[in-house]
């Protein structure tokens, strides 16, 4: 039985492991989205405000049938003895996401999606490539110059990838835009995170591009000699130093993270400053592609049948559920500042 007063915040309602994920991940993002909605409303962007306010107002998960005894926090020991050593698998099945570029909920889901796609692509490429992590920066800019700076960077990137030196040395790339804000002087720091696929022999022949050469090529592409640094390194796991495709998760995460951190523009206590930042970022990111794929990355993306990393499905981010699996649909709705468990219903043959 589901009681109307059962919310994620109450300890006695912690019967489902999915509630931990809702409490620790979905709920904080939902609260941030509501703050963003209020900012849009103050900026007289009523339609955007309403879409963001509605984002994530309901979530439906599939509880996939597991073997052995039914797991719960209360009978974990008994389940372990019976062969069920972990909680049942839950997959997000339906949700209402707004897809706004600044929405913290959608940005989190989009980052998660890109991380998963990049991991699959790099696993497919495997040992046929080495992977480099390239960061391309420009000098910080004032808020009123951010849109023009991004235009210049996108144009410079197009020039860079057309250079014969780049095309000869690089087999493929994934490029992502990130924008950070200096909270002390209010300037913005846009930069590209780029994953490069190169030949396993890249470091042993004339295809190798040094850091200084990367800097010169980026300066020439931007037509800006004031750029003083780029960063290029072999992608390795930050903890183990391993370079195998299976151990690159921490490096991939760097390229797949949010275009803009919610903490830079979603906060309370200074609505005027928040509105100014939201207005700047919203205008600068409007109708702008934040990611790009090329070469072997694009070919692998197509062969895997992956959808658009930015505008594609933000609900079904991992593998489908087999038709023969029995499951339970669990629905949560946002009400009075928390998600409430409102319905559980059995189902069969649901395919994500």
Asked if the structure places residue 25 within a domain, the reply is yes
- pLDDT given for residue 248 in this prediction: 59
Structural domain boundaries enclosing 225: 113-264+281-303
Q: What stretches of 26-103 show up as alpha helix (H) in DSSP?
A: 27-42, 46-54, 76-82
Helix axes of 146-162 and 271-285: crossing angle, nearest 10 degrees: 30
d(CA 123, CA 249): 11
- Contact between 352 and 91 under an 8 Å Cβ cutoff? The reply is yes
User: Given this model, what pLDDT does residue 237 score?
Assistant: 52
pLDDT in tens, 171-207: 999 999 999 999 999 999 999 999 999 999 999 999 9
Cα distance between residue 36 and residue 249, in whole Å: 30
Verify that 291 and 175 share a domain, yes or no: yes
* Shared domain check, 243 and 208: yes
Q: What is the pLDDT of residue 85?
A: 46
At residue 254, the pLDDT reads: 67
Residues 6 or more apart whose Cβ sits within 8 Å of residue 83: 67, 68, 69
Residue 272 lies in a domain: no
Structure confidence at residue 269 (pLDDT): 92
The total of structural domains in the chain comes to 2
- What is the model's pLDDT at position 242? 58
Answer yes or no: do 230 and 189 share one domain.
yes
Q: What is the pLDDT of residue 292?
A: 94
Predicted local confidence at residue 218, as pLDDT = 98
In angstroms, the CA 293 to CA 174 distance is: 5
- My answer on whether 201 and 242 are in the same domain is yes
d(CA 91, CA 97) in angstroms, rounded, equals: 16
Q: Based on the domain organization, do 190 and 222 belong to the same domain?
A: yes
By the 10 Å C-beta count (0-12 exposed, 13-18 middle, 19+ buried), 48 is classed as buried
CA–CA dist 334, 57 (Å, integer): 5
- In this structure, the number of other CB atoms found within 10 A of the CB of residue 67 comes to 7
232 and 87 both lie in a single domain = no
125 domain residue, yes or no: yes
The predicted-structure confidence for 169-178, as pLDDT tens digits, reads as follows 999 999 999 9
CA angle 280, 285, 289 (to 5 degrees): 165
Contact yes or no for 95/199 (Cβ under 8 A): no
Question: Which residues of the chain are modeled with pLDDT < 70?
Answer: 1-16, 65-88, 236-255, 318-327, 347-352
Residue 15: what pLDDT?
Answer: 43
Q: pTM for the full model?
A: 0.84
40 and 161 inside one domain: no
CA dist 123 to 119, 171, 320, Å? 6, 16, 19
In the sheet with 326-335, reading across from the earlier edge strand, the strands are 89-95, 58-64, 326-335, 338-348
């Amino acid at each position: 039985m589901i009681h109307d007063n059962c919310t994620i915040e109450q300890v006695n309602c912690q019967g489902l492991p999915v509630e931990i994920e809702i409490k620790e991940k979905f709920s904080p993002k939902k609260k941030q989205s509501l703050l963003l909605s209020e900012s849009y409303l103050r900026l007289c962007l009523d339609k955007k405000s309403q879409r963001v306010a509605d984002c994530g107002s309901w979530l439906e998960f599939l509880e996939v049938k597991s073997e052995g005894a039914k797991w719960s926090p209360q009978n974990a020991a008994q389940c372990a003895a019976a062969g069920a050593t972990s909680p049942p698998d839950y997959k997000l099945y339906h949700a209402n996401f707004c897809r706004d570029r600044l929405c913290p909920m959608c940005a989190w889901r989009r980052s998660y999606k890109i991380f998963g796609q990049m991991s699959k692509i790099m696993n497919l490429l495997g040992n046929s490539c080495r992977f480099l992590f390239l960061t391309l920066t420009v000098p910080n800019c004032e808020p009123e110059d951010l849109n023009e700076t991004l235009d210049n960077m996108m144009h410079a990137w197009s020039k860079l990838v057309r250079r014969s030196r780049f095309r000869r040395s690089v087999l493929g790339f994934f490029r992502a835009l990130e924008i950070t804000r200096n909270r002390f002087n209010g300037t913005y720091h846009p930069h590209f995170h780029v994953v490069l696929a190169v030949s396993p022999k890249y470091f042993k022949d004339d295809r190798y591009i040094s850091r200084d050469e990367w800097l010169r090529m980026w300066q020439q592409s931007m037509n800006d000699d004031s750029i003083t640094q780029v960063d290029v390194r072999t992608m390795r796991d930050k903890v183990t130093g391993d370079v195998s495709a299976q151990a690159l998760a921490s490096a991939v995460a760097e390229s797949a993270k949010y275009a803009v951190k919610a903490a830079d523009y979603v906060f309370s206590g200074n609505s005027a400053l928040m509105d100014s930042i939201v207005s700047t970022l919203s205008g600068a990111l409007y109708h702008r592609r934040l990611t790009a794929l090329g070469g072997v990355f694009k070919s692998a993306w197509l062969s895997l049948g992956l959808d658009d990393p930015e505008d594609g499905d933000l609900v079904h981010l991992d593998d489908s559920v087999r038709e023969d699996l029995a499951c339970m649909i669990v629905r949560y709705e946002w009400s009075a500042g928390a998600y409430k468990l409102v319905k559980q219903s059995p189902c069969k043959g649901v395919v994500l």
